[in-house]
Every structure is written in C-alpha cells, then in structure tokens.
Amino acid sequence: MAQAKQEFSKLSDASGLVRKALDLLGTWFEDPIYEPQRASVLAHVASAQFPLLLDSFYQLIPFGTGGRRGRVGYGPNRINDATVALSVQGHCNYLRDRFSSAASRTIVVAFDTRIFCDIAGTYSFLPSNHPLYKLTSKVLAHSACEIYAANGFSVYLAAEDSHSGYLSTPELSFLIRRMGALGGINVSASHNHPDDNGFKFFNEHGAQDIPPTDREMMDYMDKAPEVKRLPFDTAVAQDSVRRLPPELHQAYVAMNLALRPGGARKPVKVVYSPLSGTGDSTVGDVLRAAGHDVHLFAPQADFDGSFKSVPFRLPNPEVPEAASPALPEATATGADIVLFTDPDADRLGMFAKEKAGGWRYITGNEIGSILAYYLVADRDRGPRKPGLLIKTLVTTRAIEDVARRSGCQIVSDLLVGFKYIANVLLCLEKGGQFGNVEARPGDLVLAAEESHGFLLTPDIRDKDAAGAALVLCDLLGQLRAEGKYLTEYLDGLSLESGNYANAARNIVMRGIRGTEMLTSMMASLRAKPPARLGDLEVTRFDDFLSEAHGPFSANGDTERLARNLLLLELDGVQIVIRPSGTEPKVKVYVDVEGRKRIAGGDRAAAASLAQDIAGLVFHHCLDRIGYRLSPSAGLLPDYVDLDLKSDFDNRFRRELLEKTEWLGHSASSDQLQWLRKSLAKYAAGADPIDTVKLAVAHLAGELAAAAPSEAARDALAGLQKTLKAPPSDPIHPLP
C-alpha cells in the first residue's frame, strides 16, 4: 500500500481521489468477496501498472444514462463479477425494502453476446488464464440469477433454444410489463467495444429509473454488506430460475405488428445485420412476420461477442462503417434497404438505396424525422395519427416543426437518456399530464432520440428497433410501388420541415486525468461562456445546473450528472455541450435550422454548416484545457482519445519523419504492416489502418510539402497512395 500511495501521488494532484483509491484498494485486499481477484490486483503492483490501478480504484463505477457501463477489469471502477454481484445484491435489498408487500416477486434477466477477450491488451501483463479472460455477459447474467434466487425472487431467462438464449432490451422491457414483474436486468454494454460490459436495471414499469430514485437504488448497491447465492443448477432444479415460455415472444412480435396502419403493403427486400448481437429475434422476427424479404447478413449474425466482423469493433448504429460490409451483398441481392442494430437491439441504423444506385447512410435524427413525418404529416401515404411526439433536447428540432404543422402535442426538451421519455409516459399513465401536455400513454405516436433510439408504443418503456424498422419498411414498400426512393422522401420532407441539419462531435479523455480535464473544461465554460463562435454571436447561454431548472434533492448526485449540460443558442443554431455520466467524455450536439441560415433550400450546405459549427465548438472546448491539435490529428475519429491524438502529433510525427527514407524503398504491404504496429493502440484490437488512414495521409502530405528532397516527397506521396488504395476484401476481416 505504501508503494501504491507513493505512485498514485505522482500520477495525480487530486488528493481526495488518491485517498479514495487507496481506501478502496485496501477494501479489496480485506473483503473476502474480492479474494478471487486479489492475485490479479497484486500483479498490477508487481508489473508497475499504477496508472491502470489508480483509474480502476479511484471511484465506484457510476450510473450513467444507461445504467452502469464501462471497461471489464479489476477494481470498483470496472465491470467484473464482484461489482456486478454487489450491484445485484443491492438491487435485491432495495426491492425487498421498497416493495415488501408486492404480490409479484418476479425478475426478468437478459444478456447480450459480448465476451471479454482483452482485445486492447490492457491486461497483457497477466497470465492468459486470468479470472476475467473470456468473461461473457451470459456468465454475469447467470451469476445475477443465482443472487436473485437466493434472495427469494423468481427469475425468468430466455429459453436456450430461442435464438441461443439471448434477450434484447426492448423485449425485456415488454416482458416486465406483460408479466407484471417487479423489475429486470440486462447484462450488456449496448453499442460499446467488446472490452466493455455493463448492466441496466429496469423497474416494474419496464423502464430505467430517473433521479433521484436511481440514487436511492445506488445507495443500496454501494452498501451491500454481503452477497447471497444459490448455485444456478440448484436454482433451476428448485424452479427459482425458469425459462420464458415461447408464447411471450410471439406476443412481442404481435404487439409490433399491431403498429402497422391499414391498407395494402408491398414487401421490400431487406439486408439486415444484428452486428453479432441479439436483434434477429426482434427486428428479424418482426420483419419476417410482416412479410418482408429479410436477408440476414451472415458474417455479422454469428453471435460472436468479440465483434471481429464489425469494423473498428464498434457495433454502433451511429458508426456508418459498422454495417458497411453488408453493402456489397445488398447491391448484389437487389435490396432496397440495409438495416442494422446494436447488440442489445434497441438502436436502429440504416442505409437507403438512392435513385442513382448507391447507398446513403441515414442518421438517427434523419430516421426520427422520417418516422415523425410519415406517421403524422404525410397526406399521401401516412396514417396521419393524432397524438403525442416526444424527443430529447439534443434530437433534431425538425420533429418539433412536424408536430407544430400537424397539430400534434410534443414534449421536446427532455434530458438525454431514454429513461426520461419513459418517465413522460409514466406521468401520463398516473395523472394524464406532463408539464403543459395533457394526454394518455396510448396517445404516443413516436418517441425519438438522436442516437438512433425510437419507440412507437407505450407497451415498451425503452427504445425498440423492431417497431421503427417495420414502419420504415412499410413506408419504403409504398414508395417503391410509386417508383420513388426513401432518400428522395427524406430530402423532400426535410426541406418542408425547416431544412434542419445536425452534427455531433465527441471529446474522449482517459482515466483520472481525463476526469480532471473534463471538470476543468466545464468549469471554464461556465465561468466564461463563449460570446462568439466563429462569426456567429451567442445569443443565449443556459446552464442546466442553475436554480432556474429547479432544486436538487438532498442526495442529488445522479441529478447533477443528468443536468450537467450547457445550451448555447445562435441565430438559427442550437448547441448542447454534455459530459458523459460514466466516463471522461464530452459530447457536442449541433442543430442548424437551414431555412434561417442557408438560401435556396440547399441540404448539403446546411449539413456542411452544422459540421463546421460542431468543429468550432470541439476546438473551443479543447482550448479551455490547453489542447491544440494539428489538422492531421484532427482527422482521427472522435473515439480516439486525446492522449493518443497528442501521441500522433508528437511521437508518431517524429517516427514518420525518421521512416521517410525507408518508405521510399518499401512495398505497400510493408508500409501498412509498419503502420499497424506503430498505431496498434489507436484501434483497440481492430485494424488500425481503417482508423488512421485519413490522418496519416494528411500528415504525409503536410510533411511532403516541407520535405528537403524530391526523394522524401516521393516517399511520402507513395504512402498517401498506399492509404488511398481500396481494401482487397470489402468485409475488412480483422485480427
């Protein structure tokens, strides 16, 4: 402990966080529950892995917008069997105290496909058989079942022969409500890298709790004195753990089919990728039951939770490249649309075929706009439903425009996280009112968030990709019968609805130092808000932590996390700056009202303006913490953290200069192999070439312009040519 104290103090000036890390480290050496991990923690010390050790112990892994989620590893700030077990036991204690007289003692448990293989090599200093290696969501879910069963709850899991026993987030929410369960848990890190995992807790309404209730539940989790267990096989034998009957899944499918408006429907050909997750049992089953021609993209339908067939190993609908390997198959089969979902199947991504024959990626904001317009405003094809639209503050304001022109009620300014949408429905269920809106849950037409989350029914209280996929395919069938394309439809409704354009940027930091920088950045922005961004004046600045947005409860930690955002308004532009609740990351959201800023209804110009403003805000935020990135480093994807971007500007720039002569005499394959080795950590186990090629090509051009010789210029130009060459295999196989 003395050595750890000395090394931690060298790494951070935050004495409070260092003390907390030492206290938690001491607990892990003393409490028997952590004994299976003790040797691995000691190996951190023996291998001088003190930065990793400090980051793993300086806090208890927090609750964010989607439960507890983070890196798998050793320590309280990591996902592991101990942190999951204590959280589940705390959940049991919470439920027992809060619902002591409840008739139901049922819990539904779900899990996704992910498996921890330490792709990034974080624990390469440990033996290959260390306790967490090959840890799966299924193992953690079965552990949760043991704890719930030992605490007197009846637990339900998906049947092993039903899509390999996996259960998606939306179906879990549906089942909790359908079965009258007391709650549920999904072991999943949603769209994150496979080195992450997590768990979402659901209440009796099938939703995740909002502040301050989530804080009350966290207190139980953080103070669980011991963990009760009943071995899984014993729990099954005693009927404490049961399999879900298949008719419940059919009820979920039927509920989604009931969303379809009446009238004739033309089937469409769909290429669908579950991105190696659970979605074929939801999106796939619903679309097939609806009569659409579904081609499952086999390389990403294998339940491989290492996500090796997914570019960048990021199974995220917000990342277009995630499903780009499916595009050649879509073209070859004559498909009209490519749909894809994240591993727990609550988010929906889409590529739509264009009239010229290519494919266009459709963003989450654009999907939400299409759904809203079709459902309430389309006089030629849509059902023109009267009712209620709901969206978060950072979701496109085009949906507000659609609601206003259609006479629909709208809740439009919710905090980020689908649980706030679910809370609107709960308020309507209990009292028929939320703010100035008077309605019933059954009045819901659409709830949407920019991060590809949609809900079309109050029978579920989380986002559901299946219902949105079904309505999109039905709409596309009508359009194709008219000889029209979905991209034409999107462009037309966008111009009619204000020509809104959206852009987002992420600033990713690392560890305890990243937490300190994030705190400093937000404090600086609050102390001295920007007066201008480029040539645009900031006309309004709103801090959601201010008293104007209401008081905090006595124990309001999670409230402060949720409200830790800043809103800036410019003429025709809305900007939101919001830190993550679970990691040192800041997200910038830009929403441009094109009809105010762009003449002539130019969609491309509006999109370009949104991107430009997002870039301005991105660099302005970096300025607040003293970061200056070169134009080349600025081309690295936003998921690459600031430490690596600085490494690119310093270590890699020098290395590339030193390699210039070698580049002039080396084959393209050797150049790529060198880049893979030099920049391996930039891609966390994926092929780094896909991650770095734009940045490296730009840097090579920058260095070539200042090169002292023609040979050096030719060598750097050759590297640029190598990086621009198309891959030999369009599916981008990864190690």
Tens-digit pLDDT profile for residues 608-634 = 999 999 999 999 999 999 999 999 999
> In Å, what is the CA distance from 386 to each residue of 375, 410, 445, 473, 615?
9, 11, 8, 22, 39
Which of these, 106, 83, 86, lies nearest to 37 by C-alpha position? 83
List where CATH 3.40.120.10 sits in the chain.
59-244, 251-496
Q: Output the pLDDT for position 554.
A: 74
Distance CA(498)–CA(501), nearest Å, equals 9
Please give the full DSSP string across 580-605, using - where no structure is assigned: -SSSSEEEEEEEEEHHHH-GGG-HHH
**Chain segment 560-581, per-residue pLDDT in tens:** 999 999 999 999 999 999 998 7
Mode of pairing for the β-strands spanning 241-243 and 269-273: unpaired
Residue ranges in the chain whose pLDDT is less than 70: 161-163, 726-735
CATH class (in words) of the domain with range 251-496:
alpha beta
Distance CA(446)–CA(448), nearest Å, equals 6
CB 240 within 8 Å of CB 106: no
Residue corresponding to tokens 């996902």: 79
Q: Output the pLDDT for position 732.
A: 35
Q: Which CATH number fits domain 500-623: 3.30.310.50, 3.40.50.620, 3.40.50.300, 3.40.630.30?
A: 3.30.310.50
List where CATH 3.30.310.50 sits in the chain.
500-623
Distance CA(614)–CA(588), nearest Å, equals 7
pLDDT mean across residues, the chain? 94
Q: Output the pLDDT for position 623.
A: 97
Sign for the CA dihedral angle at 137, 143, 147, 149 comes to: positive
Q: Which CATH number fits domain 59-244: 3.40.120.10, 2.40.440.10, 3.40.50.150, 3.40.50.11540?
A: 3.40.120.10
Buried b (16+ CB within 10 A) or exposed e, 362-388: bbbbbbbbbbbbbbbbbeebbbebebb
Q: Output the pLDDT for position 62.
A: 85
Mode of pairing for the β-strands spanning 500-508 and 585-593: antiparallel
Q: Output the pLDDT for position 730.
A: 39
Mode of pairing for the β-strands spanning 573-579 and 585-593: antiparallel
Q: State both tokens at 419.
A: 């649980």
Distance CA(134)–CA(114), nearest Å, equals 9
- Please list the residues that pair with 198 across neighbouring strands: 69
Q: 3-state SS of 655-711? A: HHHHCHHHHCCCCHHHHHHHHHHHCHHHCCCCCHHHHHHHHHHHHHHHHHHCCCCHH
CB 629 within 8 Å of CB 622: yes
